[in-house]
Amino acid sequence: MIAGLSVLLRLALRRDRIMLPVWLYALVASVASAAVSLRHLYPSQGSRDRLALSINSNASLRALYGPLYETHSLGALTAWRMLAIGPVMIALLCQLLITRHTRAEEESGRLELLSAGALDRRAPLTAALITAGSIGLVFASVVLAVMLGFGQDVAGSLAFGLAFPAVGLLFAGLTAVTAQLAPTGRTANGLAGGALGTAFLLRSIGDAAGSSGASWVGWLSPLGWAERVHPYGGNQWWLLGLLVGAAAVEIAMAYLLLARRDLGGGLLPQRPGATTAGAGLGRPLGLAWRLQRGTLWAWAVSLIVFGFVLGGITKGLQQLVNDTPEAAQTIERLGGTTGVVNSYLSTCTTFVAMAVAVYAVQTALRLREEETGGRAEPVLATAVGRLTWAGSHLLYPLLGTFVLLEAGGLAMGLGTGAVLGDTGGWIGRLLAAGLVQVPAVWLFAAAGTALYGLQPQWTTGVWGLLGLLLLITYLGPAMNADHWLLDLSPFTHVPRLPGGAVHAAPLLWLTLLSGALAAAGLLGLGRRDLG
């Protein structure tokens, strides 16, 4: 028995008593509403087969949702729709739970206080893993009950439900390892989040490439394994076993690392710092750059790599179109070969924009982090005004988002040009595609800034807003969601580039709305108490 484990488990449940039910509810609701809308939209076998044809012949739809092979039951359709995104959400939740209860606690010094009690050094990690594992199993049971309620078979429903906690456990295990390596919760989350993003893109790339050759890429991603479980079809139980086995290896590694390191220490050694500050570090701008540059570089490098890869597989899309005549018909409706590539690239651009929206919120909320962490006070006690201080950080959601979207666009243009030719043309088109997403991304940062200035205790709520709108953007169109629902997402309003028509009006009002929200936040910040 691990000393102190039950106390820590109760502490974790007490701390997460709001967050866990909210996530569970949101995830169960998306599974149930997917089932309801799919039953309504595709009642007959014929309609489901036509859906499969249109999905399987469209690279951008495959990239979004994965290919649809099994169409004989509502369960299979629901599983196909949810297994591309649901495991990502569960993985994200597990990752946050692990860092929150291990490295973040250690970093804050709270774990030191607890560790002085009768507490086994393995207790915090074990409690976090049990919490993450249990929430996954609770979710799997609810999914099982819901799918049985829809009259689906037990084996398929079990395989469907268990695919979520299996992926969750794998990313929990991965985060357990990064939490031993990284000295801060932020870095641990960043490493694990980067891995999750990579897994998502590898799965998308593999599915977009289809049978044209590069589909093996999907096997590199645990999310690709979860998708290939094929509930209600093949029920590939061994893939669930593979996920759990990989998780077990990671978890064993995490415990090994844990036993070999000091409390509060990472495994990456720290070099001594500079004796004096460089010339740049003497103004708020310099400080903000120093604090934000690491995040910006990490995002830029990832987006450039993925942009290039996403562009590089456009060649495969064209080959596929030429190969299958039925597919060619569907493609023709999309605007021919160029239409396919354009539609695929515009979907990829939306992906990139959704990722950059996460960066925008993350950097905008840095202000709140600095304030609650007590690091804003010493700066604001010098001759630095609040607006100057806030402005120096808000440059990152303002300009960093632009840089990232354009870096992604440039890389995608280079990748596309490398395989299709006309590099200059593609770069131009994809830079434009990235540019029109900027106002949509700004809106999230502006909402975060408004909350921060006016109602600081609700600031983290902007993550919920972001999650909800990303889910609507992602799942909404395929579920024939009502227009008003889709219209809530700023991504619905920006032009679909390359290929689509450009209207200036939505870009203008998104910019104005962002400006107004940010101004309201800054005005509030100027008037309220700090700290």
Partner 1 sequence: MATAISVSGLVKTFGRTRALDGLNLTVEEGEVHGFLGPNGAGKSTTIRVLLGLIRANGGTVRLLDGDPWRDAVALHRRLAYVPGDVILWRNLSGGEVIDLLGRLRGGISAARRGELLDRFELDPTQRGNAYSKGNRQKVALVAAFASDAELLILDEPTSGLDPLMEEVFRQCVAEERDRGRTVLLSSHILSEVEALCDRVSIIRAGRTVETGTLAELRHLARTSVEAELVASVPGLADLPGLHDVQQNGTLLRCQVDAQRLDALVAVLTRAGVRSLICRPPTLEELFLRHYGGAASELEPQP
Q: What angle do CA 222, 55, 334 make, to 5 degrees?
A: 130
- Which residue from 68, 377, 32 is spatially nearest to 231, judged by alpha carbons? 68
Helices and strands (H, E) in the chain, number of each type: 26, 0
Q: Is 277 in the site for partner 1 (CB under 8 A)?
A: yes
Q: What gap in Å lies between CA 460 and CA 464, rounded to an integer? A: 8
Sign (positive/negative) of CA torsion 170, 174, 177, 183?
Answer: negative
Q: Is 530 in the site for partner 1 (CB under 8 A)?
A: yes
Dihedral through CA 166, CA 170, CA 175, CA 177, nearest 10? Answer: 140
Q: 278 phi and psi, to 5 degrees?
A: -65, 170
Q: How many residues bind partner 1 (CB under 8 A)?
A: 35
How many CA atoms lie less than 13 Å away from 90 in the CB half-sphere?
Answer: 34
Cβ proximity to partner 1: between 384 and 519 the closer is: 384
Question: Which one of the spans 140-148, 286-294, 322-330, 400-408 is the region binding partner 1 (CB under 8 A)?
Answer: 286-294
Question: Which one of the spans 38-46, 376-384, 424-432, 457-465 is the region binding partner 1 (CB under 8 A)?
Answer: 376-384
Cβ proximity to partner 1: between 482 and 529 the closer is: 529
Q: Is 110 in the site for partner 1 (CB under 8 A)?
A: no
Q: Is 116 in the site for partner 1 (CB under 8 A)?
A: no
Binding mask 125-164 for partner 1 (x = CB under 8 A): ----------------------------------------
Position among 32, 148, 181, 291 found at the interface with partner 1 (CB under 8 A):
291
Dihedral through CA 462, CA 463, CA 467, CA 468, nearest 10? Answer: -30
> Over 381-449, what HEC string results?
CCCCCHHHHHHHHHHHHHHHHHHHHHHHHHHHHHHHHHHHCCHHHHHHHHHHHHHHHHHHHHHHHHHHH
Cβ proximity to partner 1: between 374 and 424 the closer is: 374
Question: Which one of the spans 148-156, 279-287, 457-465, 475-483 is the region binding partner 1 (CB under 8 A)?
Answer: 279-287
Question: Which one of the spans 126-134, 359-367, 383-391, 460-468 is the region binding partner 1 (CB under 8 A)?
Answer: 383-391
Q: What gap in Å lies between CA 114 and CA 117, rounded to an integer? A: 5
Q: How far is the CB of 446 from partner 1 (least distance, A)?
A: 25
Cβ proximity to partner 1: between 202 and 376 the closer is: 376
Position among 269, 325, 378, 424 found at the interface with partner 1 (CB under 8 A):
378
Position among 274, 501, 504, 505 found at the interface with partner 1 (CB under 8 A):
274
User: CA–CA distance from 425 to each of 396, 413, 438, 445 (Å)?
Assistant: 29, 8, 21, 31
232: left (phi over 0), alpha (psi -120 to 50) or beta: left
Question: Which one of the spans 128-136, 217-225, 284-292, 416-424 is the region binding partner 1 (CB under 8 A)?
Answer: 284-292
Position among 373, 461, 477, 515 found at the interface with partner 1 (CB under 8 A):
373
Position among 300, 379, 418, 513 found at the interface with partner 1 (CB under 8 A):
379
Give the residues lining the site for partner 1 (CB under 8 A): 183-184, 270, 272-278, 281-284, 286-287, 290-291, 373-375, 377-386, 527, 529-531
